[in-house]
Amino acid sequence: MSATELLIELTLMPLVAFVVGMMMVLMMRRIAAKLQRRVGPPFFQPLYDIVKLHSKRTQVSHGLIHDIGIVMAMGGYIAAETLLPVPGMNGIAEKGGIITLLYLMMIPSLGLALGVGQCANPNGSIGIARALTAMLAYDIPLVIVVFGVAYAAGTTNLIDIIATQQAGGFETWGVTQMPLLAIAGLIAMHASLGKQPFEIYIAPAEIATGPMVEMGGKYLGGLFVMQCFQLYTTAVLYVSLFLGGGTTWFDFLLKSFLVLAIPMSIAYLFPRYRTEDLLRLMWKWPVMLGLIGIAFVI
Amino acid sequence: MSSIKQIPVVEAKRTNPLARVFDDLVRFCRSRSLFILHYCTGCGAIELPPAMTSRFDMERLGIQPMVSPRQADILLITGYVSIKTLKRVILTYEQMGSPKYVIGICSCTVNGGMYWQSYATAKKLDEYMPVDLYIAGCMPRPEAVIEGLQQLMDRIHAGEANSWEDYYRNYDYYLGNQQKLFGEDWQTPTDVISEAKHYDLLSNGTLGDHTRLLEQHQKPLEALEMRLGHEQKEPAK
């Protein structure tokens, strides 16, 4: 592949992720509306929100680290998009591998922790402490699941993992080969999205949206953009690990949206766990399922 | 007010042909995405849950609740404002990011309503901060609330909802009314005059007798002392 082609792919992949991510945010809000018997927001609502937030006259910065934190939160995901193969574009997925991808997916939380720390708002500090605790909770089952899949495929290269799954149709998909790992992965993915019942660090009624409490204008807009990337990254990672990636854009997007619709439909039916309950739940059930799943694989 | 129209207004020259299109897009997005901060002081708050949830669903207009002043566009004050509450309302208002809009719901914010004779209630909200829209009624139905919000949306799209600039242009007037109510040593953490300079909105009404009074006793803000645990203060002897 020539350098120009690679450059075009590296530009296109985050852009596609952003557009698809906005549609995923829309789907999330529409699902919430349907479950509550409402009409829901119009089609371009996520775009309106982002444009409006970036066009506010007042942009309150709390210092350099605050600015850098938001850039890190977005940049971590933008870098992660280039490692996620989509139909027709592989980016640098071959060189990166799945372990780099997992590392990159942790950067946004750390960036947020830096940025929120400088805001000096107690609600923000509590929120970010809870966010990092939640990360500790869901990363252990996630790493177990990813290890199991990589062990079964014999490689950490995401392109090869997708290729082995696509070789024999539905029967060689991760979800039929390793159903226990797939269930554990779904729970870990739900927790990593930070939606109810795992919504401990947003908690609007309790700590006033936690990390977002001091964010206004383009800072909040940056976090809205980050949310688009977060939904896309999580859904596409799950599709690549268990649902055989995508051969065409149609079935790729269909799978991603369907996978994301599962936690979204569950989320708006439940209230919130406490932090220690989340930790206990995440370290018990998905970890147990994941370990049994690994035993089957080995 | 006729003298205002005699002031010559110099329009900034537009060289980029796309600038107008972009401005229109921004105004449209501002009108279609409104984050509300509720300041639920009185009984009007009871009409907001039906306006937000399944019966009338404000989200289909792009209006959704937010929880902190930094994130919000609209400050929604739903009922009577006592003098003690008004201090908090002003602090909240000054922390919000521009462009910001204030909506007063219920007749109590218009003229004091049934608290007209109360000694502890601020009667007219627009004496203390610029109000974009009043929704009168005791209490207004959710239909009226949504109708009012739609009027605000139309005005934002037309570029007419600029009352937040009025707070900077006529700060002396608003500060005077606030001082009348809270005493002469009233001070907020926000430096409104510097902000007015920042937005280029400094005008004849910004500075005056009341801001001079403010400058006399204004104390610079200091960070709170960090302390662990509860320390009981010694009673003064």
Prediction ipTM score? 0.83
pLDDT of residue B12: 65
The set of residues, in sequence order, having a beta carbon less than 8 Å from that of B174 and lying 6+ positions away, is B127, B128, B129, B130, B167
The pLDDT > 70 percentage for chain B reads: 88
**Which segment of A105-109, A169-173, A257-261 scores lowest on mean pLDDT?**
A169-173
Domains of chain B and any CATH numbers: 28-161 (3.40.50.12280), 162-217 (no CATH)
Answer yes or no: are the C-beta atoms of A226 and A77 closer than 8 Å: yes
Best probe of the B interface among A55, A60, A62, A268, by most B CBs < 10 A, is A55
- Burial of residue A205 (CB within 10 Å: 0-12, 13-18, 19+) is exposed
Strand-pair partners of B101:
B74
pLDDT of residue A89: 82
Contact B30 A39 (CB under 8 A): no
The pLDDT > 70 percentage for chain A reads: 100
Helices (H), A36-157: 45-54, 64-81, 93-119, 122-153
Minimal C-alpha gap between A13 and chain B (Å) = 26
Q: How many CA atoms lie within 13 A of A5 on its CB side?
A: 7
Contact A41 B67 (CB under 8 A): no
- A56 vs B32, B67, B97: nearest CB: B97
- What mean pLDDT comes out for the span A115-131? 86
Strand-pair partners of B133:
B103
Answer yes or no: are the C-beta atoms of B189 and B223 closer than 8 Å: no
pLDDT of residue B234: 64
Pair type for strands B34-39 and B63-65 = parallel
- Angstrom CA distances, B39 to B5, B46, B102, B104, stand at 35, 12, 10, 10
pLDDT of residue A234: 92
Structure token pair of residue B123: 């009667």
- What mean pLDDT comes out for the span B15-31? 84
- What mean pLDDT comes out for the span B21-29? 88
The set of residues, in sequence order, having a beta carbon less than 8 Å from that of A140 and lying 6+ positions away, is A282, A283, A287
Whether pLDDT at A129 is above 80? yes
- B71 vs A39, A205, A216: nearest CB: A216
Whether pLDDT at B231 is above 70? no
Sign of CA dihedral B139, B124, B80, B116: negative
**Element of type H or E holding B103:** strand B101-105
Whether pLDDT at A232 is above 90? yes
Q: Give the nearest chain B residue to A221 (CA atoms).
A: B71
Whether pLDDT at A140 is above 80? yes
- A220 vs B32, B54, B71: nearest CB: B71
Instruction: Look at residues B91, B68, B156 and name the one whose alpha carbon lies nearest to residue A217.
Output: B68
Q: Which residues of A touch B71 (CB under 8 A)?
A: 209, 212, 215-216, 220
Q: Give the nearest chain A residue to B62 (CA atoms).
A: A41
Answer yes or no: are the C-beta atoms of B123 and B131 closer than 8 Å: no
Q: Which residues of B touch A60 (CB under 8 A)?
A: 70, 97
Q: Give the nearest chain B residue to A120 (CA atoms).
A: B223
pLDDT of residue B151: 92
Quick one: pLDDT band at residue A63, thresholds 50, 70, 90?
confident
Q: Which residues of A56-71 are buried (b: 16+ CB within 10 A; e: fewer)?
A: bebebebeebbbebbe
Whether pLDDT at B17 is above 80? no
pLDDT of residue B155: 92
- What mean pLDDT comes out for the span A122-143? 89
Quick one: pLDDT band at residue B101, thresholds 50, 70, 90?
very high
- What mean pLDDT comes out for the span B111-115? 85
Whether pLDDT at A84 is above 80? yes
pLDDT of residue A202: 82
- What mean pLDDT comes out for the span B113-119? 86
- A42 vs B30, B62, B68: nearest CB: B62
Instruction: Look at residues B236, B177, B181, B182 and name the one whose alpha carbon lies nearest to residue B210.
Output: B177
Those of residues 46-65 in A touching chain B at CB distance below 8 A are 47-49, 51-53, 55-60
Contact A208 B30 (CB under 8 A): no
Answer yes or no: are the C-beta atoms of B69 and A209 closer than 8 Å: no
Tell me how far apart the alpha carbons of residues A180 and A242 are, in angstroms, rounded to a whole number: 11
- What is the SS3 assignment for A38? coil
DSSP string for A180-226: HHHHHHHHHHHHHHT-TTS-TTT-HHHHTTGGGTT--THHHHHHHHH
Q: Does B60 reach chain A within 8 Å, measured CB to CB?
A: yes
pLDDT of residue A62: 83
Give φ, ψ of A216 to 5 degrees: -140, 165
Best probe of the A interface among B23, B24, B25, B29, by most A CBs < 10 A, is B29
- A39 vs B25, B60, B71: nearest CB: B60
Name the average pLDDT for chain A.
88
Tell me how far apart the alpha carbons of residues A266 and A100 are, in angstroms, rounded to a whole number: 30
Measured CA angle at A240 (ends A239, A245), to 5 deg: 85
**Which segment of A39-43, A163-167, A222-226, B70-74 scores lowest on mean pLDDT?**
A163-167
The set of residues, in sequence order, having a beta carbon less than 8 Å from that of B41 and lying 6+ positions away, is B77, B78, B79, B80, B81, B82, B85, B89
Contact B199 A57 (CB under 8 A): yes
Q: Give the nearest chain A residue to B55 (CA atoms).
A: A38
**Which range in B32-36, B205-209, B222-226 is most confidently predicted, on average pLDDT?**
B32-36
Q: Which residues of B touch A213 (CB under 8 A)?
A: 67-68, 70
pLDDT of residue B4: 59
- Burial of residue B219 (CB within 10 Å: 0-12, 13-18, 19+) is exposed
Tell me how far apart the alpha carbons of residues A171 and A175 are, in angstroms, rounded to a whole number: 9
- A41 vs B60, B70, B99: nearest CB: B60
A67 Cα distance to chain centroid = 22
Give φ, ψ of B141 to 5 degrees: -70, 160
Answer yes or no: are the C-beta atoms of B140 and B105 closer than 8 Å: yes
Structure token pair of residue B26: 């921004």
pLDDT of residue B1: 45
